[in-house]
Structure 1
Amino acid sequence: MARKLPFLMLILLQLALLPHSQCLNSESAGFSLRLTRRDLPDSNSFHQRLESTGHFPDVIRPRITRADYIFTIDAGIGTPSSQKPFIFDLGSELTWTQCTPCVNCFQQNYPLFDPKRSRTYRKLPRNHPLTRWTTSFARYNNGAFTFNIAYGSGQTSTGIVSIETFSFPSHRRGPEIIPGVVFGCANNQQGYFSSMVTGVIGMNRSPVSLISQMRSLSARRFSYCFPPINSPVNTTRLRFGSDIKKIEDLQGTRFLSTRDYSYRVKLLGISVAGRRLDLPNRSFPRGCTLDTGCAVSRIETRVYSEVERVLIQHFNRFNLTRLPPGSISRGDLCYSPRPGFINYPNMTFHFQGADYGIGPKNLFLFLDNRFCLAMFPDKITILGAYQQQDVRFVYDIGNQKVLFREEDCSQDKA
């Protein structure tokens, strides 16, 4: 979500995420946070919200909680600690929360963080080792580093880069405490943000991200598994280090080197209904970015047109009635199914060294009287949260790769 923050609103499965904890020996490092799904109050149709959403963050073992496609994680800030829910975002680097005094803050269901009431708060000093990694989003002026982050879906956040103690509910030993975390004390936000969150937890590969600042506590590895959106289970765990279960038959692919520290992998091609699309060479020059802050997947526009053509051809064989384009939302491909219809196609993303299968339940959004392709055309290709349901992901930053396999994620309960 980095710089493209979330898909806002509808957001997607956002995982509110991440824990901070005391530094442990890397050999024994391991813990989990709860990720929680929170239901958004908006009355717009689910499909419309999916389309209008951008990237939003996500959650951890700390517990991951689903909120109508947003997964959040609770974290404590300051001393004494003040609990706040955050969006967990694999695309963002800087973690931030709204603070007082606030010039323009979005409405939130929790008190603003007041740095004057914390014994451990301080502004980021110029000699801090992480200042060299803040130049892409912050500038030093009048005795403080001021950050300004703009997300692709239109939101912006501005404030003071600071240092504070973070704590996270843990599955053991009480709260995990991480002192000296570099974060943003935000006091001027523009655009839509849900009142169910107070900010974002950045989880990309940047030295400033939370996962990097956790150091040996995480062993630079984390894992999550999103339950289906129609599951009564709305919480799961964001696991770190040795708390990640050993799983057989994992597929894996390496991360590409990127300037934005995103989780981008090499995408070689796409298959629909078992047939590889005939695409020009270098159809995916920027690869495919894995982003839980993105509600649904995006596919590069020219490739999306071919995907759409093949799907239309597939459903025409069964004489299904396509709804007029634009009748539901921009860029949609929707049909009215016949009773008993079961011939839904699947899709495969062919990564370098691994194939990522997307079955019908993750490929289409099923509504009362229609089903729609849960993907949209864009400038880049993104594997969003909706297409990550019931798949175990393990991000191994130290070895620069991601591992995955299908799993019943409703069993990974908080």
Structure 2
Amino acid sequence: MTPADPMDLFAVWSCDAQGRCTHWQAATAGPLPPAHGLPLVQWLQQAGAEPAGAALGTLTTAFAARQPFQVEVPVLCADGSARRLMLCGLPAGDGHQGFVLDVGARQAALESALRTAVQDRLLVTHSTDLIAHCDLQGRYVSISPSYGRLIGWTDAELVGRLVTDLLHPDDRAPAEAALAHLMGGGEIVEAVEVRKRHRDGHYVTVGTKASPVMDSAGQCLGAVLVSRDIRREKARIQNLETLARHDVLTGLPNRAWIEEHLQTLLAVHDDGAATALLFIDLNGFKAVNDRQGHAAGDELLRQVGRRLQQGMRPGDAVARLGGDEFVVVARCSDARAAARLAQRLLDSLEQPFCVQEQPVRIGASIGISLAGDDTHCTALLLRRADAAMYQAKACDRSAFRFFEADGGLHHQPM
């Protein structure tokens, strides 16, 4: 018979040879109707919440044959509640003795646990996340079916292997350190980004969260690892970063990007070259925009951006500040090299463009500022190039001018 849990025990009882209850002791002044003085079969008939034919037959046979018995029956209690009881008895002397247990709560808890287990299994089975258990040595104990769907591996192929075996070589050491930290009682709050190797050889980027599995004594037994495919999320973030640092119309870097790039170049002092900033403003763009419309103006700006990129040397950078203003940042050996670059850009921009199937000619004015010992600020370099550009624009033709530290603006011979 099942051992009695004191929290489940409702009563102990004894019966004589005829099955009449000679002793009935309830654990508490509970809701069970007393059975003292009644044949136990009769008590069960009176207290039963529903017909209990099979249980009555079992009791009658057991009393007659002096056999042990155990039956479960629903009983209507004095407080009006219906409870499921387990009635257990053993032969003792000329009769029987036994106890009554309330198994309804235990059954409800078991059914709830079973429902939870089924729900958890459904979640694991149909989850798109990678769900795995590993032991204290970091070896797979079980994996979800999603491993096969996402990265091609089956349970049989992975169970027993180290969880770090599938990781990209560059990710293994950090992952091993994180897992050791977790198994040692530490906490990992943020998801750890790793690359898991697909069965066909390529890598899938996932974000993994890990939680320790503890026993009743607080000892770590292993961990649960939940990994999610974050390739789309990373692509979305990268796209947002690109949009934040690039001009939407031309695809060129924007002011934020070029200022950061310029600051990096200004920090370089050991190659004997100087940082040159060329501020470019288009001549004749407004006329095209007014005459042919904004769509034509936009197309012209895109073509200008492509042509400027074609004129760049390795290491040079071109950006659009806005409107018809562009900036080129380059490392030049001296002012003559910067002048040659400016003239090459002017010559390129004076070649005709084709906008809406019509030839379009424009020019440009370029202001040049060279970084020196007194110029380590991007804002100052931009202001000086902008001032030089306006001086070049006063020439009423394509031209470039240098900003000089003494306050002058000069055309540098090439």
Tell me whether the two structures share a fold, i.e. TM-score over 0.5.
no
Q: Which structure has the highest strand share of the two? A: 1
Q: Which has the higher contact order (CA 8 A, sep 6+)?
A: 1
Task: Tell me the TM-score normalised to structure 2 length.
Answer: 0.18
Q: Which has the higher helix share?
A: 2
Larger Rg: 2
TM, length-normalised to structure 1: 0.18
